[in-house]
């Protein structure tokens, strides 16, 4: 019911948003169909796309704030696209989906949802700093390619502009699963950029935070910088 004025108030609001989303997931999970993999470990099953709504996310001062809230709260696995409902269209679309399903589809395809980008979230764990995934991004328009390695514990953003399309080859290391049939299995997906770009979240699933408050604050601050929430 209030708009944050100070940075501390904003961080408190987003901490509450994370907890609300986690609580909603725990309630919803009871009715989800039984599945293997991430769901069996208490994680979300792979979902595509992921649409986010709500005033705290819609009025985020930077896209990175909203993206980090979703990554921390949902902890998605595999490959998914993040879209933000900036104009709070989802409640109306839900009501209209029964009598006017075609109109709902047309609104979804009209660009009313803002793309934050594509997220790659390998499930796995181990020693921090060890290699988690190797990626090769080939941009369709320019033909340029980018190759690199992401280590366990890192949150990496690869530049990929709004609407820019690329071919992404993902090679997870042993013990990491990105949804291609099991740990260590590689694959190729078509990815689309957004306000942030291509996000590689190799922080592990489930997220493990340091018990020491000072180290925890330092780590969360680093994640904010990495995803572009701070300048």
32 burial type by CB count under 10 A (0-12 exposed, 13-18 middle, 19+ buried): exposed
More confident residue, 108 or 200: 200
Q: Give the per-residue pLDDT at 177.
A: 86
Q: Give the per-residue pLDDT at 1.
A: 66
Judged by average pLDDT, the poorest of 2-11, 144-153, 197-206, 219-228 is 2-11
Q: Which pLDDT band, with edges at 50, 70 and 90, does 142 fall under?
A: confident
Q: Give the per-residue pLDDT at 58.
A: 82
Q: Which pLDDT band, with edges at 50, 70 and 90, does 39 fall under?
A: very low
In whole angstroms, give the CA distance from residue 202 to residue 106: 35
Q: Give the per-residue pLDDT at 123.
A: 85
Q: Give the per-residue pLDDT at 38.
A: 46
Confirm if 195 and 115 have CB atoms less than 8 A apart.
yes
In whole angstroms, give the CA distance from residue 30 to residue 172: 30
Per residue in 97-122, pLDDT (tens digit) is 778 778 777 776 676 788 889 999 98
Confirm if 26 and 19 have CB atoms less than 8 A apart.
no
**Full-model pTM:** 0.83
Per residue in 69-79, pLDDT (tens digit) is 999 999 998 89
Confirm if 50 and 78 have CB atoms less than 8 A apart.
no
């Amino acid at each position: 019911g209030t708009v944050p004025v100070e940075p501390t108030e904003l961080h408190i609001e987003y901490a509450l948003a994370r907890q609300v989303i986690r609580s909603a997931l725990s309630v919803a999970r009871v009715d989800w169909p039984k599945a293997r993999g991430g769901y069996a470990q208490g994680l979300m099953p792979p979902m595509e796309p992921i649409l986010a709504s709500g005033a705290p996310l819609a009025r985020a001062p930077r896209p990175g704030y909203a993206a980090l809230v979703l990554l921390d709260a949902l902890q998605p696995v595999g490959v998914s696209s993040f879209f933000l409902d900036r104009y709070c269209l989802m409640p109306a679309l839900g009501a209209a989906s029964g009598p006017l399903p075609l109109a709902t589809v047309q609104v979804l395809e009209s660009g009313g949802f803002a793309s934050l980008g594509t997220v790659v979230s390998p499930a796995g764990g181990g020693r921090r700093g060890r290699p988690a995934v190797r990626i090769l991004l080939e941009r369709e328009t320019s033909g340029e390619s980018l190759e690199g390695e992401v280590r366990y514990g890192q949150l990496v953003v690869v530049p990929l502009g709004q609407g820019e399309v690329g071919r992404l080859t993902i090679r997870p290391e042993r013990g990491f699963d990105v949804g291609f049939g099991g740990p260590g299995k590689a694959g190729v997906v078509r990815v689309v950029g957004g306000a942030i770009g291509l996000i590689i979240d190799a922080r592990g699933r489930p997220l493990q935070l340091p018990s020491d408050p000072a180290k925890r604050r330092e780590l969360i601050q680093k994640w904010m910088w990495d995803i572009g929430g701070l300048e």
